[in-house]
Structure 1
Amino acid sequence: MSEKKDLQDCVEELRRERAQCSFDVEELTNIFDGGKELTARRREIEHLICSDPAFKDEVPPEYLSHEDLYTNEVRKVTHLMRKLAEHNIPLREASITQVHSVLRDGNPLIVHTSMFANALASLANPKQQQQWVPLAEKNRIIGTYAQTEIGHGTFVRGLETTAIFDPETKEFVLHSPTITSTKWWPGGLGKTANAAIVMAQLYTQGKCYGPHPFFVQLRDFDTHHSLPGVILGEIGPRLGINSQDNGYLRFDHYRIPRTNMLMRHSQVLEDGSYVKPIHNKLSYGTMVWTRVAIVHSCSKKLACAVTIATRYSAVRHQSELVPGKPEPQILEYQTQQYKLLPHIASVFAILFSASSVLRMQRNVAASISKGNVELLPELHILSCAMKALSSQDSTQGIETCRLACGGHGYIASSGLPSLYTSTTCTITYEGENTVLLLQVARYLIKSYRAGLEGLPVLPSVMYLTAPSAMHQSPPLSNQALIEAFRISSANLVKETESRLCRQFNLEQNFHYAWNRCSVALVHCAELHSRYYMCEKFLSTVESIRASDRVRSVLQDLCRLYLIHHITLNQGHFLRSGTLSGVDLSTLEEEMYELLAKLRPQAVPLVDAFDFRDELLGSTLGAWDGRVYERLYEEAQKSPLNKTDVSKAYHKYLQPLMKSNL
């Protein structure tokens, strides 16, 4: 664990759970972190931050006003950045930790240190980087990424903000021509940022060239007042993450130099002529990076939730499993195991998939630097698929964990509500999931047709027209199950492509036909994405360097993950003929056996995620298991408990009680 802990300090139930562990928890922690050295470094950074009293909240964030919440988080995040700088810890290195969890309800600078910084790195040319990157690194410039508008989000081509080149002054004129062209949602835009990367429709020489990125100063760098022609504000309370000042932005014929157009991939020359990029998707780099980061974040958020719910389930006793016997731990109930154990497996599935996409991203970036963009479309589609699937799985998993904790999961101090609200937003930002899945489906249909015609297709979709290898593996083995996913995914794409052709013959319009098949197309993309995640989970477990005991528990988790998702999608496997009804019944029985087998390892498994109590932030999920004491202690912090009789009694209740209504 992060700090040496004495089992005598935890409740009896958790002592028993930890005593029956069959594997080396520390070894699994190293795998979760990506290596022994990374574990050590993570713990070092987390100890540095968590030992600083400046990060402790005197008043729980839930009791603060909107303005006080924002101010408190700005205080903490600026202190965090100074602390990291004092100890020469780069932000990228800090990202391997959970230190940002000290910011309970969002980070007003997260877009500045992530999307803004990466946009400059991937979209600005070397001269522009020399001009702006040092200022951003020193926080002289605090930026955000302004793409989404109140009227358009995922459909980037529909953006309405305009950037019209004026050849006489060599400037772009930024303008918001409609209410729907108002930039809406960017984190940090409301009150924090003084600059932004703005996506706007580029017009030059009377022609529109589509959305392009521009570096735009929004506020005076000294006074922080918004500049003339710039209208800024905060959009108001959201479901969660309310300390992150999501904002709105409008331009009134606001002029910026021509050289503020980010020109790494395309440019406008002084005479107004447009130089197009070598590939029309090169500007996707920032979005791809962000989606990969979302996938990794989803695995950590789900790991937090399942840690809380599993520890609580080991401490909580309820009802009678056997009449007349003592109330058992709720983790003894098979229904509780079914709620939690597949999500422990899902943490690793998402994490290993994120690592795979990250490796591809690095390879593609290296190829692009050499002028090779061949794999860029595959990376774009893969990042869409994994972002959609991981955000969906983690959001549903966190909500399942909350429900698994009964009424106590509804209490803010459980940590589960904030985990949910900070994760469910990933379903819509950086690409709404349904839209992303339809992009994946379009790629699948296109690749399937190309494969039928004998044209070359990229590696991740070669399977769509490849021959079956179903009978080359032992029946119901892991490889056979992966092959069942592969064939079922290919079969669903084939069926949907045929349906699309039939619909086109009826409609005589591809777009109408596509819409009438869109539900089936989303299912194609989901099954393809699940196949990829399953395959990466299994291949990672099979190749990982680990002791026999750690490998064994990972194999059990992987097997549970495969079977769980087969049982949830039985129709696909029956339709493809890859699994029979008897096969599915056999697998379902095995799933229940795996739940029983993994049940004694549940608490050690979540211990391996190694979350410090300060960063987990939960009354239900602390390492020592003192659930009821922590709940009671947290209740004492309510401002309503400062007095025995509330002001509301004298002002409203007493008059009502004494009236003759």
Structure 2
Amino acid sequence: MAARRVSATARHLAGKGRSSTADPLELEREGASFDPSVLAAMLAGGADKLALTRALNLQMSRDPALGVSVNRHGMSRAEERERSAIAVRRFVELWREDESAEVRRAREFAFALAWPSAHGRVSNHLDLFLPTLRALASDEQQARWLPAAEAFRMLGCFACTELGHGSFVRGLETTATFIPASAGKPSCFEVHTPTATAQKCWIGTGAQLATHAAVFAQLVAPAARGPSERRSAAAASHGSGQLRRWGIVVLLVQLRDTTTGRLLPGVSTRDLGPKMGRNGLDNGLMAFSHVPRGSAPLAALGTPPPGAGETAVLDYPLHLARLVPQLGLSLCLLPAAESVQRLCGQAAAATRHGRVDVLKRAHCVSAAAKAEATWLAKAGIEACRQACGGFGYSSLSGLPGLSDDFAVMPTWEGDNHLMALQGSRLLLQGAQLCMTGSAAEDLPEEVRFLAEEPAQAIDQEHPSDSPGSAAGARQAALFRQVLSAAAAAAAVSADSESPGGGAG
């Protein structure tokens, strides 16, 4: 590697390479012990996908409406919000013209990396609202709403988090009261925010752009069944003691007129104000005042340069020790993310057929992966910022903004500490099965290593002809593997849920 770098530097100094203003990173790449283009193609999923990504990046950089090349440093929040709205409109125009799902996925990914703040106004629709419709809506509801949603004729948001109830879904206060048909009026569900803490909070695109919302609420309906329901219709509409809560439901609620953008009667929203980052995304506070909703719920839920005589910064062992691990972690996290995506896809398919076992596994694995990956990402960004010295503190380096954009990751969509505990459940269940003598093939796929690796490690560390001592050593090794998870589970109730997470 050193010889190739020296050769590249010699060519550069001899005038056979780049000019004296050549990018030091390019010189480092030329001196690599591998072909960077091969690695790039591998990470992109193939040469064709790499070419597509590069073409989309070039298109974005030359499209002024997308604003990717605009200097956003120093913009006011209002200016960034306006520019991001223009970028979203242009993104949607290009999205509609894309000829395949593959191009659309690549476009969204490129947009997310180029401008996370503006992408947030798209991802709430594509990655939260649309999957909710596809997973929970009936065939009739999907036929009615999906075409418009997929074509961006409506822009959806995900209204779960409340001011007083972050990710504690069972404690949500927003109500959806069933109003039986009476006096010629059809039955409906009335969505209402009964208290200040019941306001939907941190709802991405909820403050300005979203026209519809997938609203999570407590279903309130008459407790009686059969003929007596007709007798309790009046009681239901007046909130008497004849009503009871039946659990959480998800309803599609229209927020704004799709033509004028004006809020509909009974719906109120306001912006949550400045944030550490992602100020181009309109996170909002949302309330409903007895808003009638005619359709049935979507679903009911359970719960300096080289060669100049100076040593390049990247050649210092201290910097290599700080930065190379971050590259290695990135290479490890990519296939891990793909594995989690595959498992979630399997869970969705199994759930459609009435199986929830894969869903439970996917929940534990994705929860643990979310916690570990976001902690590593946040720490990695800070490590890179510090490695830049004083210039890393400048917004022009791009790292403070990136750090601000990712600061929310360990807390939104579930506090990382609780997500790690959720992941530990599968690990502890696997350990318990191992301790009772279960074979590796009887364990969930994700924890089979508990039955395989300890035995191999113990056979090497504690060789013994005594079956009893070998078994005891295996159990001791297994216990050491799950000790940290067990300690965490003992410190926090397995049923603990966060009242403050869930920014979206």
TM-score range, shorter chain: 0.7 to 0.9
Matched with 1:340 is 323
Displacement after TM superposition at 1:23 (Å): 1.0
List 4+ stretches of structure 1 deviating above 6 A. 472-475, 486-489, 516-519
Q: Is the contact between residue 98 and residue 104 of structure 2 (CA under 8 Å) also seen in structure 1? A: no
Q: Which whole-Å deviations, capped at 9, do the CAs of 1:339-398 have from their partners, x for residues lacking one?
A: 100000010111010011122222333333444332111111101011110000000000
2-structure distance, mates of 1:202, 1:181: 14
Q: Which residue of 1 aligns with 2:482?
A: 493
Contact 2:85 / 2:118 at 8 angstroms: preserved in 1? no
Contact 2:158 2:215 in 1 (8 A): yes
Q: d(CA) in 2 for partners of 1:474 and 1:29?
A: 41
Q: More relative contact order in 1 or in 2 (CA 8 Å, sep 6+)?
A: 1
Could you tell me the TM-score, scaled by structure 1's length? 0.61
Partner of 1:26: 37
Distance 1:68 1:329 in 2: 39
Amino acid at match of 2:447: V
Give 3-state SS (helix, strand or coil) of 1:381's partner.
helix
1: distance between equivalents of 2:18 and 2:80? 37
How far is the alpha carbon of 1:231 from its aligned partner? 1.1
Aligned to 2:11: none
The aligned counterpart of 2:10 is none
Do structure 1's residue 225 and structure 2's residue 208 form an aligned pair?
Answer: no
1:214-263 Cα offsets, whole Å, 9 max, x none, are 1000112222211111111111111000010000101112111142x103
Q: What code does the residue aligned with 1:431 have?
A: G
Alignment partner, residue 629 of structure 1: none
Measured against aligned partners, the alpha-carbon deviations of 1:69-93 in whole angstroms (never above 9, x if no partner) come to 1111111121122123234354743
**Contact 1:438/1:518 (CA < 8 Å) preserved in 2?**
no
* Distance change >3 Å, CA 201–CA 104, structure 1 → 2: closer
1:138 aligns with 2:147: no
1:385–1:315: structure 2 CA closer, same or farther, 3 Å change rule? Answer: farther
The CA deviation at 1:451 is 4.4
After superposition, the C-alpha distances for 1:588-638 in whole angstroms (9 at most, x for unaligned) are xxxxxxxxxxxxxxxxxxxxxxxxxxxxxxxxxxxxxxxxxxxxxxxxxxx
Deviation by residue 1:169-206 (Cα, 9 ceiling, x = unmatched):
42112111111111011110000001100111122233
CA distance in 2, matches of 1:358, 1:391: 16
> d(CA) in 2 for partners of 1:425 and 1:489?
35
Q: Which residue of 1 aligns with 2:456?
A: 469
Alignment identity in percent?
Answer: 31
* TM-score normalised by the chain length of structure 2: 0.79
| More deviation, 11-20/420-429 | 11-20
The alpha carbon displacement at 1:64 in A equals: 2.1
Asked whether the 8 Å contact 1:110–1:187 carries over to 2, the reply is no
Cα 1:198–1:15, aligned 2, differ >3 Å: closer, same or farther?
A: closer
Quick one: distance in 1 between partners of 2:484 and 2:82?
A: 55
1:187 aligned residue: 204
1:215 aligned to 2:252?
A: yes
Describe the SS at the equivalent of 1:427.
coil
Question: Does 2:122 match 1:109?
Answer: yes
Q: Deviations over 1:536-562 (max 9, x none)?
A: xxxxxxxxxxxxxxxxxxxxxxxxxxx
Q: Which string of whole-angstrom CA distances, capped at 9 and with x for unpartnered residues, describes residues 571-599 of structure 1? A: xxxxxxxxxxxxxxxxxxxxxxxxxxxxx
Unaligned ranges ≥5, structure 1: 1-5, 267-276, 282-313, 318-324, 476-485, 501-510, 520-661
Equivalent residue in structure 2 for 1:363, among 346, 366, 384: 346
User: Cα gap change, 1:76/1:121 in structure 2, threshold over 3 Å: closer, same or farther?
Assistant: same
**1:180–1:492 Cα change, 3 Å:** farther
Aligned ranges for residues 507-526 of structure 1 at < 5 Å? 514-515=491-492
Q: How does 1:345-356 map to 2 (within 5 A)?
A: 345-356=328-339
Aligned-residue CA RMSD (Å): 3.2
Residue in 2 aligned with 1:204?
Answer: 221
| CA deviation after TM superposition for structure 1 residue 428, in Å | 1.0
Other-structure match for 1:99:
111
2:313 is aligned to 330
How many residue pairs are counted as aligned between the two chains? 439
Mark the CA change 1:386 to 1:84 in structure 2 (over 3 Å): closer, same or farther.
Answer: same
**Paired residues for 1:249-264 under 5 Å:** 249-259=286-296, 261-263=297-299
Structure 2 gaps of 5+ residues are 1-15, 223-242, 463-474, 497-504
- Tell me: CA distance 1:219–1:16, structure 2 relative to 1, closer, same or farther (3 Å): closer
Give 3-state SS (helix, strand or coil) of 1:154's partner.
Answer: coil
Q: 2:171 maps to which residue?
A: 158
Q: Provide the residue aligned with 1:459 in structure 2.
A: 445
